[in-house]
Structure 1
Amino acid sequence: MRLIFMGTPEFAVPALDALVAAGHEVAAVYCQPPRPAGRGKALQPSPVQRRAEALGLDVRTPVTLRDAGEQARFAAVGADAAVVAAYGLILPGPILAAPRLGCFNIHASLLPRWRGAAPIQRAILAGDAVTGVTIMDMEAGLDTGPMRATVEIGIDRKTAGELTAELADKGAALMVTVLGDLAAYPPQLQPEEGVTYASKVDKAEARLDFAAGAEAAERQVRAFNPAPGAFFELGGERIRVLSAEVVHDLDANPAAEPGGKTGGPGFGRDDAGLVLDDRLLIGCGTDALRPTTVQRAGRGAMSADALLRGFPIPPGTRLS
C-alpha cells in the first residue's frame, strides 16, 4: 500500500520499521515538531523523525492539522491508508477522510479499557493483570472506533518502559498482519461495557503515596519508570525510586520497628512514610515498601544500600 505514517515517540518506531520492511510505500511521515530538551534546551527531533530521516523518508512536522492548507497537502499524498501510533495530535475530519481506506490506529490497551493518552501507566496503576494492543479504525471520538484485531500480554511486574517496548513490537507486527489482509479482519464495534479513560499523567502523581499501601506505591514506581519517576522528598531533596519490593510482614525483617497494629502484619497506619529499619524499609500503613534502586538529582541510578552509605536515612525518619 501507499501509506502515510503518523507517530512521534519511541513507541511508534517499531511500527514504522515494520511497515517499511513489509514492502509498503511510506510516502510521508508525520510527527510532532522538535521540542527543547537537555540542559541547553536545544530543539530535539522526536524518535520517529530521527528514524524516518535515517530511512530517507519525507518527514512533516506541522504544529496543527486544522489548517486547510495542511489538510490539502495531506490529501495530495494520495495515500491508500494512514497508520497512526501515538502521534499526539487530534486528527480532524478532513484528515480522517483523506486516505482511500481510512486511518488505522495502534492503541496500547485492550479497548474499550483505557481509551486516551496514558493507557500503559493507567493499567499498571490500576493493578491490571493483563493489557495489550488494539488495531482500530479511527473516527472523530477518542479511541472509540471499530476494532480490527487485538493481542494480549501479561503485565506481571513490568515497568512502563518495559511494557511500552513489548507493546510497541506486538503492535507493529499486528498492524502489518492486518494491513496484509484487511478483509480477514473486519471492523467490530467496541462493547459499551468496560469503558475506562486513561488521562494524561500529571507529574504530581509521581510523588509516592505511602498511605495508600505498599502495593499501590510499588505500582507507582513501575508506572512512572522511566518517566516522570516516582519519588519521595527528604531535606528538600527529591529521591527517585526506580525499583522497589513489597514487604508483607516483619518475619524476614527483624530490624524493622513496627508501629500500630491497624495495618498488615506488624505494620500500622501510623507507619505511613516512616522509615522502619536501617535498610530503607518504609511503612505504608498496609505492609511496607523497600526501595531497591534509587537516584538522587543529577546523579546516576544506584542501589538503596549505596545511597544510604553517603546519604543516611535512619529509622524513625518520616518521608514526605
Structure 2
Amino acid sequence: MRVIFMGTPEFAVPALDALVASGHDVVAAYSQPPRAGGRRGKALTPSPVHARAEALGIEVRTPLSFKRDPDAVAAFAALEADVAVVAAYGLILPVSVLEAPRLGCMNVHASLLPRWRGAAPIQRAILAGDAETGVGIMQMEAGLDTGPVRLEGRTSVTGKTAGELTDELAAMGARLMIEVLADPARYPPVAQPDDGVTYASKIDKAEARLDFAQPAQAVLRQVLAFNPPGAFVEIGGERIRLLAAELTDGDGEPGEVIDDALTIACGAGAIRPAQVQRAGRGVMAAGELLRGFPIPAGTRL
C-alpha cells in the first residue's frame, strides 16, 4: 500500500520499521518538530521517528498543527495515500486529515479500549493494578480514541516496568498493523463498548514522587510505572530514583527506613529497593548505594 506514517516517540519506531520491511511504500513520515535537547537546551533534537525515517530515506514532515494550517492539510491530501498509520503522534488530526487517505487513518493504541483512552495508557494501567493490557488497531475518528477497533492483542501487566511494557506493546502493535493492512476486509472495524470507558491523563512529573502513605503494593506500582526514568525520593536534598523494588514485611511510620537494608515502611507493609540511581550516576544495587551514602534506620523519606 501507499502509506503515510505518523508518530513521534520510540514506541512508534517498530511500526515504521515493520511497514518498510513488509514492502509498503511509505511516502512520508510525519512527526513532532525537533525539540531543544542537551543540558543547556540549545541543540534541537529530532524525535526517534524523525531520525529513523531519515535513516530509511523517507521524507519527514513536522507541521506544528493541522487545525491552523490548511496548507499542511492540502499537502497531506496531495500524497494520495491508501492509509495513514498513526502511533503516538501527538497532534490532533482534524476530520479533513482523517478522511484524506482511501482507508482513513489507523492508530496503534496501547490499551484494551475503551479502557485507558488518552495520553498515558501504559503507566495508568500499571498504576491502577490492571492484570492485563494490550494494544488495538483502531480506525480513527474525531473523538479521543473513540474509534472502532479492527484487531487487538493482550498481555499481562504484572511485574513489568513501563519501559518493558512499552517495548512489548510496540512490537505487538507493529505485528498487528501489518496483519490488518495485509487484508483490511478480514478485520472490519468493531465499535467499542459503551461500558468500561476510562481516561489515561497525561503524566505529571510530580506523580513520580513516591507516596509511602499508600499500601506497599501501590508504592511498588509507582516504581514500575515510572521506570523509566524512575520514581524518586529526596534524601538530604538529593533526589534518589528507585528503579526496582520488592515487597516485604515491616512496620513503621510511612516513609520511615526501618532497617539497615533500606527497607521503607508504607501505609501497609513495606518495600525494599533493589536498584537505585543517584543524580548523575549510573544504576546501582541498593547495597552499593548504602556503602557510599548511608541511610540509617529511623530516617524519614
TM-score, with length taken from structure 2:
0.98
Provide the C-alpha distance between the structure 2 equivalents of 1:311 and 1:133, rounded to a whole number of angstroms: 42
Match of 1:78 in 2: 80
Pairwise mapping of residues 286-301 of structure 1 onto structure 2 (< 5 A)?
A: 286-301=268-283
Match of 2:293 in 1: 311
Could you tell me how far 1:161 is from its partner in structure 2? 0.3
Provide the C-alpha distance between the structure 2 equivalents of 1:70 and 1:152, rounded to a whole number of angstroms: 36
Pairwise mapping of residues 250-289 of structure 1 onto structure 2 (< 5 A)?
A: 258-259=251-252, 271-289=253-271
> Any idea what SS the aligned residue of 1:290 has?
strand
Could you tell me how far 1:38 is from its partner in structure 2? 2.0
Provide the C-alpha distance between the structure 2 equivalents of 1:4 and 1:288, rounded to a whole number of angstroms: 49
Match of 1:5 in 2: 5
Please give the root-mean-square deviation of Cα atoms over the aligned residues, in Å: 0.8
Match of 1:48 in 2: 49
Could you tell me how far 1:236 is from its partner in structure 2? 1.1
> Any idea what SS the aligned residue of 2:196 has?
coil
Give the residue type in structure 1 aligned to 2:92: I
What's the CA shift string for 1:222-269, capped at 9, x where partnerless? 100013x2001111111110111111x35xxxxxxx44xxxxxxxxxx
> Any idea what SS the aligned residue of 1:305 has?
helix
Give the residue type in structure 1 aligned to 2:283: A
Is 1:96–2:98 an aligned residue pair? yes
Provide the C-alpha distance between the structure 2 equivalents of 1:239 and 1:57, rounded to a whole number of angstroms: 41
Q: Figure out how many residues of one structure are paired with residues of the other and give that number.
A: 299
Match of 1:68 in 2: 70
Provide the C-alpha distance between the structure 2 equivalents of 1:144 and 1:121, rounded to a whole number of angstroms: 20
> Any idea what SS the aligned residue of 2:207 has?
helix
> Any idea what SS the aligned residue of 2:213 has?
helix
Is 1:198–2:200 an aligned residue pair? yes
Provide the C-alpha distance between the structure 1 equivalents of 2:143 and 2:101, rounded to a whole number of angstroms: 18
Give the residue type in structure 1 aligned to 2:287: D
Could you tell me how far 1:61 is from its partner in structure 2? 0.8
Structure 2: gaps spanning 5 or more residues? none
Is 1:116–2:98 an aligned residue pair? no
Structure 1: gaps spanning 5 or more residues? 251-257, 260-270
TM-score, with length taken from structure 1:
0.92
Identity %: 69
Could you tell me how far 1:300 is from its partner in structure 2? 1.0
